[in-house]
Chain A
Amino acid sequence: MKISRKWIEQLVDLNGISDEDIATRLTMVGVEVESYENLSEKYNGFVVGSVMEVVKHPNADKLRLCQVDIAGEIKSIICGAPNVAAGQKVPVGLVGALVPHDQHDPDGKPFQLTRAKIRGIESEGMICSEYELALGDDKSGIMVFDDDAPTGKPLAEYLGLDDTIFEVSLTPNRADCLSHLGIARELSAAFSRKLSSRKPILHETGEQIGKLAKVEVSEPELCPRYSARVVKGIKIGRSPKWLKVAVEKAGMRSINNVVDATNFVMLELGQPLHAFDLNLIAGHKIVVRKPLESEAKFATLDGKERELGREMLMICDKESAIAIAGVMGGANSEINPATADILIESANFSPSSVRRTSKRLGLSTEASYRFERGVDPNLTLTALDRVTEIIVQTGGGTVAQGVIDVAAAKFAPRKIELHVDQANRLLGTRLASGEMRRLLESIEIHCEKKSETGFVCFAPTFRGDLEREVDLIEEVGRLFGYEKIEEQHQTRLVFDTRFTGTGVLDDLKAYLAGSGFNEMVTNSLQQTEVAGYHKENFVRIANPISEDMAAMRTSLLPGALQVVKLNLSYGLKDLKLFEMGRIYSTNSGSDGASFAENEMLSILLTGAADPISFDRSGAEFDIFDLKSEVERLLRHLNLDNWDFIPYDSTKEYKHALKLFMNGSEVGIFGQVSDEALGQFSIRQSVQFAELSLAEILAARKKTDKFRPLPKFPFASFDLAFIVDSNTPVGSLMNSLKSLAGNLFRDISVFDIYSGSGIPEGKTSVAFSVILGSDERTLNDGDIAGFIENAESKLAKEFSAALRKQKN
């Protein structure tokens, strides 16, 4: 919201207080000033000029050479605008001035005026358009002022812009600050300055209002108060300059004297108002009601047709709707150039009703914004008097005697008890009761002493947000100043083991980073096609930003491949990456549905298995590098019991293994399929694992007891078998392992070979085996016995032949 310092100064004396102090104090009482701008400084170097003479530029068809009087000096200025003419009063930027918008720049960046030759002739300044001065959108030609504009006057002063505009950001609870009066009230409290108590001056010389118009409110809950005045015989026209400037400075468009007056009073006092052409109100009667079934459509004054809902509150005449209550007026009763008699509405509408209507219509206006947040029900009459005063002042006319005021109730200040010790306890302060009272009364919260330790406070009706004691405590706190509340550090110990968090995930991240993996964090929103590719029962977003993010991810794979794609585009081909994140799905349950979120770990390898070094070849990561990482991770977690089940060619994987623990599947890993890679235009092989963290961590066993170290040395020996090439090495290992029984300590594969020296269709597989016993040192006979048994067992199971060791 834009707040004008000059306007505020009509309501409270700010003499001697700098803009900076105003901004800081407002921010520190909870009315955040985002920025402020001194317009006089902004328009430094701009003056009102009088165009004396216009001739064609000798060297350019579309340019004109103008002689412009700026009081005391004639400037020679080249102008390209089609509408420039002798006798005009125009805005002139002099050399050195900063023009807010460059009309020729696509972004409208500002630029500084310099002395420049245009087609051989020097220009000593610039005549500006509305757009160039950031006063509007019109780029079609230069701005032309009224003939009485004083030549040579600084532009800011002439336009009433010798002012500072504060951009204020308000929280939804502070509806009372949606006006210059509200801000003035905060400043009066902050700087201990008195708020103006000026009352509007009216001469009610017309007929009795009761003879001119009637109001009937059929929905008093949605419209607690409806007040109105009638003015006859006014002249609709352009607003006087002061009114136009005031409205525009606050960021609204100037329409005509009556509409501007209603907007002015809304900006000044916070009461939204609406003026109807009295003679367009059928039967001169206002009825506040919900629409009939037949009234499904309504044309608002912005020229759009709106679909009405049956619950929306409408302002109607005897026959049909003429406005959407609290949101926007209708085209059928709008003020127009021929309007002579008007009815001014100053009403109060239910916040939630206006909000629902505005949401449903997708139409948010200055009025609906204020009503949604709550307007003081006791403001209707004050605002009515003020707007009538201005309308008569700018458009003449006769004010009818009296007001119409239909009110559902009397709106009295809310009584709230405040206990001094409770306030001090919550704030951590030691404020005296007198101090609290002084603070509250500075913002018109009247306090009556109830006992030694308590007050009854009367929250004014413009502070609808104050309902409970705690709300008053907040007022005390903010007016006293949060910065003055002393920090305390005596927080007590809480002996608590309920909230242990997920530190194990942080440890796992440290392990993976230490193993050379960079951590990724990717978007958990995906295209529905992508989510559906991996899982059918995915979660859909009802109001996505775009189709690219209309579903929750069902796998970490697409996000990871996106990361590979991005890095490849920068020539970064060698990647070790991991991510921990949730995947989402729906579960059909008895109540229709529930949602599941599973914490997953992904591991990705692509590119060179070893970065380039002086004696390393550039072998690419393959599935055994990935398998090694998965095994290492499981061992790191102290797991020892898992199965890898080969699982060929899924949609996502060319070669895959599933990881099983305690009989259930907890992950899958392998080489990503060409189809999946193709979706990201990736042309190098990618190894990817996706593991369910919750299940893996659940299977983890903590070391709870020390195991004595072996007393007897282990025996280590090698043996090799020649087998059919399609024999799984893993099966050979398992067979050897089971043969060793409780003597088994470890087994490794150190060679897999086929070719010269080995028969066609056969492969030689060499193992290094370690056996050991808890009771004794194994001797040569034990080893020879094992090898003998292995030879016959593997011969039987796999037709394997033991290769005799040389020597």
Chain B
Amino acid sequence: MGMLEEIEKLKEEATASLARIKTPDDVENFRLKFLSRKGSLAQLFEEMKQIPKEEKPAVGKLLNEVRTQLESDFESARQSAESEKKLELSRIDLSVPGRKRYIGRKHPLTQTAEEIKRIFTGIGFGIADGPEIEDDYHNFEALNFPPDHPARDMQDTFFVKYPPAKEGNGTGKYVLRTHTSGVQIRVMENNKPPVRVIMPGRVYRNEAISSRSYCLFHQVEGLYVDKNVSLAELKGTITYFARELFGSGVRLRFRPSFFPFTEPSAEVDVNCFICSGKGCRICKHTGWLEIMGCGMVDPNVFKFVGYDEKEVSGYAFGMGIERITLLKYGIDDIRLFFDNDVRFLNQF
């Protein structure tokens, strides 16, 4: 058989083979058999080296034509096999659910605290921190709670045994802080005015645990001392804060109150968003929900920290993170925060 016949035969064989290509495997098998470096076509090119010189032009021409033809047919066969594969992919059952993974969340108290921090840092407040085991001076005395004053009854206090080794004959010197207000004192003791900070943290009250109270909770305290700070400015700041936190429609009420470390003092209520002010169990039928205490820093406090009350004035405020979170979500039992039932945590 001459070279030319061999080439024609190969062409026939290859064309028939191409028509049968369906899968990517067929594509690869075809390539290996005909087009690879050791395939049939390459062998014919190899054989061509041995034929007489005068036959070479005709054989070479045909061989090149056949190669070009086969390569182009192969390419289209390869492509159609690829799309066959895609078709097959689309037959996978995509209704099978995705693989599950653990989903984590920040605790709702953290979320509220971060929201409060975001609002206040946005208007120029820094953030400060202090100890939970606090001395009487910072928790009470420097905040203008004199010894033997009934104001000390406003907060049920845990006392720490002191010195610890001697079963506490100095008990009373240290307490678990009853509020974050002690951090105010520490901030002012260590920094010259002006100061503008919020002070988040854990505080303790010696109260029986129930759906309404827990032995500890978290507060955010705020303090701003500068020249000519006024009650009107305090109102402006708190109003801005409450609208950011509860929505622009919230109404506020400032009513006179008493805290030893502020004078004048006020308590801040927002209109009850549970009953829209009509009166319900949560707002004790008053239509108002108490959210924080605030006031102008008492001159006695300035004396304790060495600020000149004639030079500066300031405001302070404090709120409970649990209370705000309870109100915001309509949670009816404070203990849920500390149980850490994941069915609860996963809701926030």
**Which residues on the A side are within 8 Å of B47 (C-beta)?**
none
Cβ of A701 < 8 Å from any Cβ of B?
Answer: no
Cβ of B236 < 8 Å from any Cβ of A?
Answer: yes
**Which residues on the B side are within 8 Å of A615 (C-beta)?**
99
Cβ of A220 < 8 Å from any Cβ of B?
Answer: no
Q: Mark A370-408, 1 if CB is under 8 A from B, else 0.
A: 001100000000000000000000000000000000000
* Residues B215 and A545 in contact, CB atoms below 8 Å apart: yes
* Residues A523 and B216 in contact, CB atoms below 8 Å apart: yes
Closest-by-CB residue of B relative to A31 is: B256
* Residues B105 and A32 in contact, CB atoms below 8 Å apart: no
Task: With A372-B150, A478-B264, A498-B191 as known contacts, state yes or no: A171 contacts B257, CB within 8 Å.
Answer: yes
Cβ of A172 < 8 Å from any Cβ of B?
Answer: yes
- Nearest CB of chain A from residue B283's CB, rounded to whole Å: 11
* Residues A525 and B265 in contact, CB atoms below 8 Å apart: no
User: In the complex, A106 Cα to B137 Cα: how many Å?
Assistant: 47
**Which residues on the A side are within 8 Å of B341 (C-beta)?**
566-567, 570, 572
Cβ of A365 < 8 Å from any Cβ of B?
Answer: no
The one of A171, A429, A593, A614 that contacts B164, using a Cβ cutoff of 8 Å: A593
Q: Which of B18-26, B30-38, B57-65, B224-232 contacts A (4 or more CB under 8 A)?
A: B224-232
Cβ of B141 < 8 Å from any Cβ of A?
Answer: no
Cβ of A668 < 8 Å from any Cβ of B?
Answer: no
* Residues A519 and B110 in contact, CB atoms below 8 Å apart: yes
Q: Which of B113-159 contact A (CB under 8 A)?
A: 114, 117, 121, 123-129, 131-133, 147-151, 153-154, 158-159
User: In the complex, A663 Cα to B154 Cα: how many Å?
Assistant: 48
Task: With A429-B232, A501-B126 as known contacts, state yes or no: A518 contacts B164, CB within 8 Å.
Answer: no
Cβ of B176 < 8 Å from any Cβ of A?
Answer: yes
* Residues A584 and B104 in contact, CB atoms below 8 Å apart: no
**Which residues on the A side are within 8 Å of B103 (C-beta)?**
516
Cβ of A428 < 8 Å from any Cβ of B?
Answer: yes
Cβ of A637 < 8 Å from any Cβ of B?
Answer: no
User: In the complex, A540 Cα to B169 Cα: how many Å?
Assistant: 13
User: In the complex, A477 Cα to B315 Cα: how many Å?
Assistant: 15
**Which residues on the B side are within 8 Å of A524 (C-beta)?**
132, 202, 216
- Nearest CB of chain A from residue B229's CB, rounded to whole Å: 8
* Residues A173 and B258 in contact, CB atoms below 8 Å apart: yes
Cβ of B346 < 8 Å from any Cβ of A?
Answer: yes
The one of B160, B228, B265 that contacts A540, using a Cβ cutoff of 8 Å: B160
- Nearest CB of chain A from residue B1's CB, rounded to whole Å: 40
Q: Mark A495-510, 1 if CB is under 8 A from B, else 0.
A: 0111111110010011
Cβ of B80 < 8 Å from any Cβ of A?
Answer: no
**Which residues on the A side are within 8 Å of B16 (C-beta)?**
none
* Residues B258 and A171 in contact, CB atoms below 8 Å apart: yes
**Which residues on the A side are within 8 Å of B46 (C-beta)?**
none
Task: With A494-B194, A597-B131 as known contacts, state yes or no: A545 contacts B230, CB within 8 Å.
Answer: no
User: In the complex, A173 Cα to B261 Cα: how many Å?
Assistant: 12
User: In the complex, A418 Cα to B24 Cα: how many Å?
Assistant: 97
Closest-by-CB residue of B relative to A30 is: B256
Q: Which of A145-153, A209-217, A479-487, A651-659 contacts B (4 or more CB under 8 A)?
A: A479-487
Q: Which of B238-257 contact A (CB under 8 A)?
A: 239-240, 253-257
* Residues B337 and A487 in contact, CB atoms below 8 Å apart: no
Q: Mark B96-115, 1 if CB is under 8 A from A, else 0.
A: 11111111111101100010
**Which residues on the A side are within 8 Å of B267 (C-beta)?**
32
* Residues A502 and B129 in contact, CB atoms below 8 Å apart: yes
User: In the complex, A576 Cα to B346 Cα: how many Å?
Assistant: 12
- Nearest CB of chain B from residue A511's CB, rounded to whole Å: 10
Q: Which of B257-274 contact A (CB under 8 A)?
A: 257-258, 263-267
Closest-by-CB residue of B relative to A501 is: B127
* Residues A32 and B342 in contact, CB atoms below 8 Å apart: no
User: In the complex, A513 Cα to B104 Cα: how many Å?
Assistant: 4
- Nearest CB of chain B from residue A188's CB, rounded to whole Å: 17
* Residues B105 and A474 in contact, CB atoms below 8 Å apart: no
- Nearest CB of chain A from residue B321's CB, rounded to whole Å: 10
* Residues A496 and B126 in contact, CB atoms below 8 Å apart: yes
User: In the complex, A518 Cα to B343 Cα: how many Å?
Assistant: 11
Q: Which of A1-47 contact B (CB under 8 A)?
A: 27-30, 32, 34-35
Q: Mark B192-224, 1 if CB is under 8 A from A, else 0.
A: 001111000010101111000001100000001
- Nearest CB of chain B from residue A687's CB, rounded to whole Å: 14
Cβ of B17 < 8 Å from any Cβ of A?
Answer: no
**Which residues on the B side are within 8 Å of A616 (C-beta)?**
99
User: In the complex, A575 Cα to B345 Cα: how many Å?
Assistant: 12
User: In the complex, A64 Cα to B70 Cα: how many Å?
Assistant: 117
User: In the complex, A29 Cα to B149 Cα: how many Å?
Assistant: 23
**Which residues on the B side are within 8 Å of A509 (C-beta)?**
106, 110
Q: Which of A81-89, A199-207, A465-473 contacts B (4 or more CB under 8 A)?
A: A465-473
User: In the complex, A429 Cα to B232 Cα: how many Å?
Assistant: 7
* Residues A473 and B264 in contact, CB atoms below 8 Å apart: yes
User: In the complex, A588 Cα to B162 Cα: how many Å?
Assistant: 11
Q: Which of A571-586 contact B (CB under 8 A)?
A: 572, 574-578, 582, 584, 586
**Most chain-A CB neighbours within 10 Å: which of B125, B163, B343?**
B163
User: In the complex, A583 Cα to B247 Cα: how many Å?
Assistant: 37
* Residues A486 and B164 in contact, CB atoms below 8 Å apart: no
* Residues B298 and A428 in contact, CB atoms below 8 Å apart: no
* Residues B164 and A575 in contact, CB atoms below 8 Å apart: no
**Which residues on the B side are within 8 Å of A29 (C-beta)?**
256
* Residues A610 and B226 in contact, CB atoms below 8 Å apart: no
Cβ of B29 < 8 Å from any Cβ of A?
Answer: no
* Residues B127 and A499 in contact, CB atoms below 8 Å apart: yes
* Residues B255 and A32 in contact, CB atoms below 8 Å apart: yes
Cβ of A722 < 8 Å from any Cβ of B?
Answer: no
* Residues B236 and A487 in contact, CB atoms below 8 Å apart: yes
- Nearest CB of chain A from residue B128's CB, rounded to whole Å: 5
**Which residues on the A side are within 8 Å of B165 (C-beta)?**
586, 588, 592-593
User: In the complex, A516 Cα to B168 Cα: how many Å?
Assistant: 44
**Most chain-A CB neighbours within 10 Å: which of B150, B159, B174, B236?**
B150
* Residues A485 and B232 in contact, CB atoms below 8 Å apart: yes
15 A-B pairs whose Cβ atoms sit less than 8 Å apart in the complex = A174-B258, A352-B147, A425-B313, A428-B233, A468-B299, A488-B236, A494-B196, A497-B126, A501-B129, A502-B129, A519-B345, A520-B345, A575-B342, A592-B170, A613-B97
